[in-house]
Amino acid sequence: MTATPGHTTPGRAGLARWLLHHTRDLLKPLGLAIVLRVIGQLVGVALLVIAVDGVVRALTTGNTDVLWPTVTTLVVLALVKAVLRYLEQYSGHYVAFAALASLRRLFFARLAPQAPAATDGASSGDLSTRATRDIDRVEVFFAHTVPPAVSAVVVPIVALVWTAIAVDPTLALVMLPVPVLVVAVIPFLSGGLTWKATRERGAASGRIAGHVSDSIAGVREILGFDHRDARLAELDALGRSSARAARRVSGVAGLRGALVQAVQFGGIVALLVMGSERAATGAIDATDIAVAIAVLIGIAGPTRAVDGFVADLDASFASAARLFEVLEREPVVAETSAPTDSHAARTSSSTTDVVRFDGVSFSYPGSASAAVAGVDWSVPRGAHVAVVGVSGSGKSTLTSLLTRTWDPTDGSLRLEGADVRTLPLGELRDRVAIVNQRPFVFGRSLRDNVLLGAPDASDEQLAAALHTAALDEFVSSLPDGLDTPLRERGARLSGGQLQRLALARAVVTDPDVLVLDESTGALDPATEATVRERLAAWAAGRRTIIEVTHRVDQVLGADEVLVLDRGRVVERGVPRTLADADGPFASLLARV
């Protein structure tokens, strides 16, 4: 993934704070879930203690009548516990699912400003795993972790303090190591052993998802070039590394469960031994020993819950870490903090240049050479200009700086006099529309796809855009017209139809500047001529067209052409004049 440095991923405590920070609106219902759980589990301990106390008293006194008030109390407490359990489950899951919804919103809200720079190089399978499975796993943290974790600490403390006061302080002391070991020591030690493996397992799953989604998207190439065996071998290798990490996690989980049980039974044995010694001195009686054992058994459930969630919690934190990496990454371009009055800047500007590059240079992160170097260029309003050059000469990069996919490493770029960095990104991208080489089609209707950037456009505006892009005849030939559902990635469209759809999508937003990045290459010559004619009529000297192409013969009619070579401007001028000169443009033309 093309990562831009953000904050270092914190450890589990930091991630817990981070999750709680982003879901702070839910802290009240979360608090309620915790209180309900703690009370419910204390009631559970009380149930055991009262039952054991009643039975032992009845047996030692030989009077079974004393059991009736005990039974009544137990019935009432059992009902109370059931109601508390229901309310706790309800509020815990309410919090969990509301938290997931807000994390999903946050994921897209934070990802959008990083795009397309940070998402272009990323595996879509890995990103979608983060947005779905990783977010779902965080549910464990809210619904099955925070309330049990708090009650695993609070319930034993209350129970032991009560035992010390109401039964015997020595027995309470004997019991103390059990919850300490079960709740704190064992999970802490095992967490250290499994955290790395759990993170490796999460990363491996992301890589598997990326591999599978690439295989689906590239199935034609895989079959066409008989690449199946190699893909399967890669998938096997990924599966093996995921299984290795999973084995380590499960092995440690098994060991942890065994240790917890050993400690709990050891606690009962210790109570029996110490209790008998204390009873022999007359300090306590049989009922006290039985009640203390009941308390230890009563707190076994709440404390063992830690063992239950520790493995899931590691997975939950590993997922939170994968979310953190995306959500806290610095956007490649920063939204202006104090937007200038761009309209005022525009109207007060006396310039007739709609776009102006001043000493613009740009290098991709990690790249030693500049993709664009020292470009000075101004484009007059209403002009049709072209940027040409051999493949890799920096044409697309130059125009992507205009909409701030990236910011220049040096120099500045102005739109109608205003530095693009001072314009709100939304406004900038409204005013400059780019038709990309590889437009994306969503699995929605043709209408929705064209109106992506202008959902409120009128029917007339839509019809005009379709006409300009020469897509109108195609649309009328479809039985469902604009309501025709399109499959994702435009599977039902030809290359030329896809390009015209992308063109209509840009034109309908009524931009000041339209950038065409190799966006007519798939059209047949007659359709291309129609599109060019209609685009010229649409621009009508008011809107500016910047055309990026390596098909130099197609831009002989442009007002100006800029020839790039390895990121530098090597020639500029009126194309027909340059065609007759003996320069780079003429030699590009000779190659056509």
Ligand X SMILES: Nc1ncnc2c1ncn2[C@@H]1O[C@H](COP(=O)(O)OP(=O)(O)OP(=O)(O)O)[C@@H](O)[C@H]1O
> Which residues sit at the interface with ligand X, rule CB under 6 A?
120, 364, 367, 371, 389, 391-397, 550
Q: Please tell me the total number of residues recorded for the chain in this structure.
A: 592
**How far apart are the C-alpha atoms of 294 and 50, rounded to whole Å?**
9
Per the listing, tokens 């896809």 go with 498
We find the least distance from the C-beta atom of residue 550 to ligand X, in angstroms, to be 5
In angstroms, give the least distance from the CB of 411 to ligand X: 16
| SS3 per residue for 364-376 | CCCCCCCCEEEEE
DSSP 57-71: HHHHHT-GGGHHHHH
In the bound state with ligand X, the residue whose beta carbon lies nearer, of 317 and 585, is 585
Q: Return the biggest CA–CA distance within the chain.
A: 120
What minimum distance in Å lies between the beta carbon of 395 and ligand X? Answer: 4
* Closer residue to ligand X, CB minimum distance, 197 or 398: 398
Considering beta carbons, is residue 122 or 305 the nearer one to ligand X? Answer: 122
CA 218 to chain centre: 23
Handedness of CA 569, 571, 574, 578 (dihedral sign): negative
Amino acid at position 403, single letter: T
When the beta carbons of 140 and 371 are compared against ligand X, the nearer one is 371
Q: How far apart are CA 391 and CA 414, in angstroms?
A: 26
Question: Rg for the chain (alpha carbons), in Å?
Answer: 35
Whole-number minimum distance, CB 489 to ligand X, in Å? 20
User: Phi-psi category of 418—alpha, beta or left, where left has phi over 0 and alpha has psi -120 to 50?
Assistant: beta
Q: How distant is the alpha carbon of residue 45 from its chain centre?
A: 42
Cβ nearer to ligand X, comparing 195 with 364: 364
Cβ closest to ligand X, residue 392 vs residue 541:
392
Closest CA to 138 of 308, 323, 351: 323
Q: How far is the CB of 519 from ligand X (least distance, A)?
A: 11
Shortest gap between Cβ of 8 and ligand X (angstroms)? 24
Q: Tell me how far apart the alpha carbons of residues 401 and 577 are, in angstroms, rounded to a whole number.
A: 28
**Residue written as tokens 């209707």?**
445
Residue 303 vs 393, nearer CB to ligand X: 393
In the complex with ligand X, the residue whose CB is nearer, 371 or 498, is 371
Q: Which residue has the tokens 């009902």?
A: 79
* Ordered strands of the 372-380 beta sheet: 372-380, 353-362, 410-415, 418-419
The answer to whether residues 547 and 385 touch, using CB atoms and an 8 Å cutoff, is yes
Q: How far apart are CA 324 and CA 110, in angstroms?
A: 11
Closer residue to ligand X in complex, CB, 186/333: 333
